[in-house]
Structure 1
Amino acid sequence: MKYKYPILPGTAEWKNFKSTAEMIDACNIPSDVLANLSTKELWDVCLQYPLLRQYTASNSPYRGIQGIIDVFNGLTELMRRDDAHKVIYGYYLTEEIANINNTKNKGAYTFDFCAIELILAQKPIISRFSREEKLNVLTTMLEKYDEKSSYSEYFGMFGKVATAFAANKYAEATGKTKRADNEQFRLFTEEMLLADASHVDTILSELVEYQKSTK
């Protein structure tokens, strides 16, 4: 079953909206359709959500994604699906960042890819993985970070921050010690609020060492 949003940005109907609330209402999926979408189909629909990139407007992109989950019934439903973690991770694992070369809007691609990482970083998703699976996700995220590094002109600092934050969530979920001695580190690892960019490199280095220690 396929679903297409009835009104899209750039159309005359979209331009007639007077508020974000109207846009949100127009993008919510009819309940009868939502109930009949497989998890894979639902995930594909969520990836096309017209307002997904609004998470970048938040001081905390992590909280921005959570806000979208709260108002978009597609993502709300996805968080409830027992197999959502497998579907999202399966997509993330197989998505080659080199695909950015074939994308006209490279900026949009980077924001969409980072959104996937932040959706993976949500508690309902993390909690469904076994410890071994969480370690696999952590390894994949570090590999994706290396891939992102080859396209740093597009992903920039935001791409690095998103991976560091999401990967750290998985590391902590498997036993990595939380930093309790530094408020700035705490704000980043818990809320994705970045006060010092150098902390990202520190966390990534720690994640690499932690990942090696679990092998």
Structure 2
Amino acid sequence: MKKTVILFFLMSVFCFSCNKDEINKDKIDIEKKDCTAAFGTKGLTLYTFNPFTAEEWKKTDHNELIRRRQIPDDFLKKMNTHELFVQFIHMDMAKDALLFNTNQQGFRRIIDLYNMLQELYKRDDTPDYFIRKLQEVNIKEVKNNECHFHYLCLRMLSAQKEVIGKMNKSQTLNYINTVSQIITEIAELSFTDPNWQTLSSYDFEMIGHGNIMIKYEYPPFMELMQSNKKVRLYMDGVIPLDKELIGLIENCMMKFYKQLNS
């Protein structure tokens, strides 16, 4: 595992150092926050769902449970982007995303089920919102299980094609640099914190990087997708991340980054 961590550390340092001045400039006014400040509900206008009873959890059809976690349209349209995100991460059925074989498979399924996420992805400010949120969370304060889940949601939802597809060049570079800095911090923490020692900790970087290259139809990556079934299956959320996939995707990304940033 340590070799994998070192690999990530070196890759992320490389990408981050390519445009360090730019990311520092973008982050100059970003105040680091702990989980309560970053993901808390205080001061937000959120929809109040009636909690399920133990009997309802046990006997109610799952599709009916999902139906009861849809927000009425008139209320939904009045919510801002942050409120939509926080509404989802605190919803009692959000953790269903963890019941699938991979993070990507779980989150793609969840996105299809809840109108709060579908509305979130309609918002034009999602690229700036997610980049800013990624920059402001103090990873060292991500400690308990609830906070880890909220942070996972932030990273996985930000890596999806609905957000990546709206990014302009400047936002794309900022996203890549921000993600690289996060990976560096996770790699450092993994030496002492077992919560960061699994390959799934880096899923959001691989999915985000892959979706960026797909958006730009970057030839080496598109050819890799065609020739390597394993890469296709990973991007579709069918198989989990492994070291081979990390090497293949990041090799393409480093070349793509140089080209985009030239």
**TM-score of the two chains, using structure 2 as the length reference:** 0.68
Paired with 1:4 and 1:12, the residues of 2 have a C-alpha distance of 21
Q: How many residues align?
A: 209
Identity rate, percent: 20
Q: Once the 2 structures are TM-superposed, how far is the Cα of residue 12 of structure 1 from its aligned partner? A: 4.3
Structure 1 counterpart of 2:229, from 180, 183, 186 = 183
- Counterpart of 2:119 in structure 1: which amino acid? E
Paired with 1:67 and 1:91, the residues of 2 have a C-alpha distance of 23
Paired with 1:134 and 1:112, the residues of 2 have a C-alpha distance of 23
In structure 2, the residue corresponding to 1:150 is in which secondary structure? helix
Paired with 1:90 and 1:49, the residues of 2 have a C-alpha distance of 22
Q: Once the 2 structures are TM-superposed, how far is the Cα of residue 212 of structure 1 from its aligned partner? A: 4.6
Paired with 1:142 and 1:204, the residues of 2 have a C-alpha distance of 11
More divergent stretch after superposition (168-177 vs 31-40): 168-177
Matched, 1:193 2:241: no
- Counterpart of 2:182 in structure 1: which amino acid? K
Structure with larger Rg: 2
Q: For CA contacts below 8 A with separation 6 or more, give which structure has more relative contact order.
A: 2
- Counterpart of 1:144 in structure 2: which amino acid? I
In structure 1, the residue corresponding to 2:77 is in which secondary structure? helix
Structure 1 counterpart of 2:175, from 123, 129, 137 = 137
Classify 1:196/1:158 alpha carbon distance in 2 versus 1 (closer, same or farther; 3 Å).
closer
Paired with 1:131 and 1:181, the residues of 2 have a C-alpha distance of 28
Residues 48-59 of structure 1: pairs in structure 2 closer than 5 A: 48-59=90-101
More divergent stretch after superposition (145-154 vs 75-84): 145-154
| Superposition CA RMSD, Å | 2.7
Q: Once the 2 structures are TM-superposed, how far is the Cα of residue 7 of structure 1 from its aligned partner? A: 3.4
Structure 2 unaligned runs (5+)? 1-43
Paired with 1:44 and 1:194, the residues of 2 have a C-alpha distance of 28
Matched, 1:29 2:71: yes
Structure 2 counterpart of 1:2, from 17, 29, 45 = 45
Q: Once the 2 structures are TM-superposed, how far is the Cα of residue 49 of structure 1 from its aligned partner? A: 2.5
Matched, 1:110 2:156: no
**TM-score of the two chains, using structure 1 as the length reference:** 0.81
